[in-house]
Structure 1
Amino acid sequence: MMELNPIQLFQKLIQIDTTNELGTEKDAALFLYEWLTKLGIQAEIIYSPNGRANLIARLEAGNTLPQAREPLVLLSHLDVVSAQEEDWTYPPFSGTLHDGKIWGRGTLDTKQLTVMHLNAFLQLNKKKSLLNRNVYFLATADEENGSREGMEFLAKYYPEIFRNATVLSEGGGFTLCGDLEHEYMLFASGEKGTAKVAIQTRGIGGHAGSPPDDQAILKLSKVINDLTDIDFPNKIYPVITAFQKGIQHERFATRPKDGELSTKLYDYMQSPTLMVENIQIGDQINVIPYKSEALMEFRTLPHQDKDEVLEMFTTLFKGFDLEWELIYFQKGYESQVDSPLMQVFQEKAKCIGFMGDWIPFTALGKTDGRFISELAGNIYGLSPLLTPFTEVLKRVHNKDECLEVDSFLFGVQLMESVLDEYCINSGGG
């Protein structure tokens, strides 16, 4: 079989249209499955009840250790968001290599990570008798639409894969540039939780030609305005402490955009955030409704459990004329900020030219880690790239999504080097 070429594999994976709405992850899963099984690797495509394909491959620990260490799970997703070809410079599913970049949907979310993981996984297979732990490679479905057919399904029916595991997933691995002599590599070592609250206000309804003062919609408007103006109290937890200690903001004098992002990340991590997801204020013409409803989503701090969140809402809604109900809660998580694995990443990065500090942060948005936070040991968002975080945020889910070849190959080389150290007998923690 031909030696794996990461760039060619990356291009081929991009060329397989796995737009979430199409549900065609199977095509990419089969492509990867063939690579793995031809090398004698134990692999399986697991289908969700609605037929979405999730690929799982496994390397078992060798028999030279009295006891294997905790498993390592390499987690990425195959589906991508939709793309309108007419808006793109190069077709979104072409994997075009031009001007030192690979262009296409999924180059940053997360087919680049799939290839980084697969390359390292295949290299470990060459030394499988020396493995000090079980290593799993997962490429899943449906992440872009909530993961019901992907990680939510897998975590429920295959929990043994994730129990006490260290998990490498998406959500970090991007640089912040300070002055010319200093850079930072940000890795996600925590994630906020999600709390959805249904709010209802009641008032006097009637004809729109004679509107009453005590309208439900006016009450709801006041609630929303007041809540969105609230400054939640800041909380310090280990990720914030490490971020604050590691980032020297004065270094951003010549890099104001990076400095601005650093400040926004710090603010985001310190307190819960709020967005209004939906508002219902009646659907009849010329009629003032007697009740109005809103669905609000709060991103809670990683350590906040359900009891603490309920207590927070009880205090928050006191004084408002409303009814509320917590209809959904999913706790966040935080992982060890200075684990042996993260130390290996920093050491190996220096060997290939990245001399910057590695800084933990709380991930923006939601990742598949949320489904296994109660099962896994540590979960890290890390797709190591040289591409600045500010640039990644501009490109991901946008037209002309692309990734520099040298940035991608840095991640490929680093992932391979780190996992070789971490997963072979003499290395790891």
Structure 2
Amino acid sequence: MTTFDTSSSVPATGPSAEDEVAGICRDLLRIDTSNYGDGSGPGERAAAEHVAALLDEVGIATEVFESAPRRTSLVSRIAGADPSRPALVLHGHLDVVPAQAADWSVDPFSGEETDGLLWGRGAVDMKDMDAMMLAVVRQMAREGRRPARDVVLAFFADEEAGGTYGARWAVDHRPELFEGATEAVSEVGGWSVDIDGHRAYLLQTAEKGLAWLRLVAGGRAGHGSQVNEDNAVTRLAAAVARIGAHRWPQQLTPTVEALLRGVSDLTGIGFDPEDPATTDRLLAALGPAARFVGATVRHSANPTQLDAGYKANVIPGAATGTVDVRLLPGFEDEGWATIERLAGDDVRIETIHRDVALENPFAGDLVDAMSGALLAEDPGASVLPYTLSGGTDNKSLHRLGITGYGFAPLRLPADLDFPAMFHGVDERVPLDALRFGTRVLDRFLATC
């Protein structure tokens, strides 16, 4: 695709990135892009068209494409100061998980601003980062500035359902859009936590693998009054109970161990990788983030759905359930074998969606650029690596050999339970954090 050269733009007056980021985020929050995972939602077209218009307004051309009706993504390519270097993919997703309005304090698609916070579904995951990306590249275009290297700017559909209609589709059908790119940055990293009175930013360098599985049990159908030792529901229930009740052992990956050692240095709490109790104490020092990060010290497998039968007095011939499995990088084969053992020989496992675990070095020029940009705006803070218990579109880009990190920089109040708002109720982001993030991203793109 055509590479857009921001240095050729005629500098124009306009709001700064800090001035307009909240408005961009608010407008995105008001576009309902709920992804139900079954194709029934509104899709991302309206949001994609809005983003394309914002980029077109400052002269940045985009390619907008659809993998299915209304499942819309868009990509731009911005020329860097050093075109000989490999390109960087800066990407976000436009879809959000659904929200039940009755559970919220505000309309989840109102983009309401209250007490210095912007509320709405996607304020955290991840229209905040989408807005920061847009605000920064718009300002660069107006001022005629280039990023340090070519940037592939992408906004994908369908991340919340595994990227089948978004990043995965783009990678499989339009790989030329990412030609020459070797690294990527996106969501769920670069946000701050308070550790014993010291602010630290968690840079996402790894993420667990995922497997959404369907368990299928067969049996002999019949009348509910009869003795039936070949009951599909009983067989499925036993498998689901074994998987759900299994206590996975602690297994520390290099990224998790590096995080725990960093927390130990900041707090003075001793760390022994052979003693799970010390891990628990160090995780507790992360405050509201402890539960979120704590899910990365072991595999997890949570039953999420059950389906069987059609009448109280009829024994069905089949029963199904679904399980959400998250496996640690480096231990995936072992975890998968355990799931098969727990399911048992009489229950068939079908894969709904499966994707790889990722683990990247907490070192190198890209990590230095991310850390440097954060510390330039917040001197005296620390930057630590962490593993994401969920997944991102970096899994899809990994298929092209692109190394992905999580870097959506936000300086947050110490008492804000930010991780709990991912897919949670009353999702909201501080306006000050958005302005901070735009400054950090601007620095990062100038030096990455």
- Compared with structure 1, are the counterparts of its residues 287 and 240 closer, same or farther at alpha carbon in structure 2 (3 Å cutoff)? same
State the aligned residue count.
415
What corresponds to 1:360 in structure 2? 385
Q: In structure 2, what is the Cα distance between the partners aligned to 1:400 and 1:325? A: 36
Identity %: 26
- Compared with structure 1, are the counterparts of its residues 202 and 154 closer, same or farther at alpha carbon in structure 2 (3 Å cutoff)? closer
Confirm whether residue 325 of structure 1 aligns to residue 349 of structure 2: yes
Confirm whether residue 34 of structure 1 aligns to residue 53 of structure 2: yes
What corresponds to 1:43 in structure 2? 62
Confirm whether residue 226 of structure 1 aligns to residue 242 of structure 2: yes
What corresponds to 2:160 in structure 1? 144
What corresponds to 2:188 in structure 1? 171
Q: In structure 1, what is the Cα distance between the partners aligned to 2:226 and 2:434? A: 64
Matches within 5 A, 1:279-358: 279-289=306-316, 292-304=319-331, 311-313=337-339, 316=342, 320=344, 322-327=346-351, 328-358=353-383
Deviations 1:308-360 (Å, cap 9, x if unpaired)?
Answer: 5654455555xx45243353532221222223222222223222225322122
Please report how far the alpha carbon of residue 185 of structure 1 lies from its aligned counterpart in structure 2 after TM superposition: 1.2
- Compared with structure 1, are the counterparts of its residues 338 and 295 closer, same or farther at alpha carbon in structure 2 (3 Å cutoff)? same
Deviations 1:134-176 (Å, cap 9, x if unpaired)?
Answer: 2011122233344333222212112234464311111223222
Please report how far the alpha carbon of residue 128 of structure 1 lies from its aligned counterpart in structure 2 after TM superposition: 6.9
Deviates most, 342-351 or 81-90 = 81-90
Deviates most, 216-225 or 258-267 = 258-267
Letter in 2 for 1:3: P
Select which of 77, 96, 109 maps to 2:125.
109
Letter in 2 for 1:8: G
Please tell me whether the aligned partners of residues 203 and 290 of structure 1 are also in contact (alpha carbons under 8 angstroms).
yes
What corresponds to 1:3 in structure 2? 15
Q: In structure 2, what is the Cα distance between the partners aligned to 1:389 and 1:344? A: 28
What corresponds to 1:15 in structure 2? 30
Matches within 5 A, 1:34-183: 34-62=53-81, 65=82, 68-83=84-99, 88-125=104-141, 131-162=147-178, 164-180=181-197, 182-183=198-199
- Compared with structure 1, are the counterparts of its residues 98 and 289 closer, same or farther at alpha carbon in structure 2 (3 Å cutoff)? closer
Instruction: Provide the secondary structure at the position in 1 that maps to 2:363.
Output: coil
Q: What TM-score do the two structures reach when normalised by structure 1?
A: 0.83
Please report how far the alpha carbon of residue 12 of structure 1 lies from its aligned counterpart in structure 2 after TM superposition: 2.9
- Compared with structure 1, are the counterparts of its residues 251 and 104 closer, same or farther at alpha carbon in structure 2 (3 Å cutoff)? farther
Instruction: Provide the secondary structure at the position in 2 that maps to 1:374.
Output: helix
RMSD, matched Cα: 3.4
Structure 1 unaligned blocks of 5 or more = 423-429
Select which of 268, 276, 294 maps to 2:303.
276
Please tell me whether the aligned partners of residues 277 and 297 of structure 1 are also in contact (alpha carbons under 8 angstroms).
yes
Q: In structure 1, what is the Cα distance between the partners aligned to 2:70 and 2:241? A: 43
Q: Deviation above 6 Å: which 4+ runs of structure 1?
A: 126-129, 251-257
Please report how far the alpha carbon of residue 113 of structure 1 lies from its aligned counterpart in structure 2 after TM superposition: 0.4
Deviations 1:264-297 (Å, cap 9, x if unpaired)?
Answer: 4554223221122333443343233465443333
- Compared with structure 1, are the counterparts of its residues 255 and 178 closer, same or farther at alpha carbon in structure 2 (3 Å cutoff)? farther
Q: In structure 2, what is the Cα distance between the partners aligned to 1:263 and 1:86? A: 28
Q: What TM-score do the two structures reach when normalised by structure 2?
A: 0.80
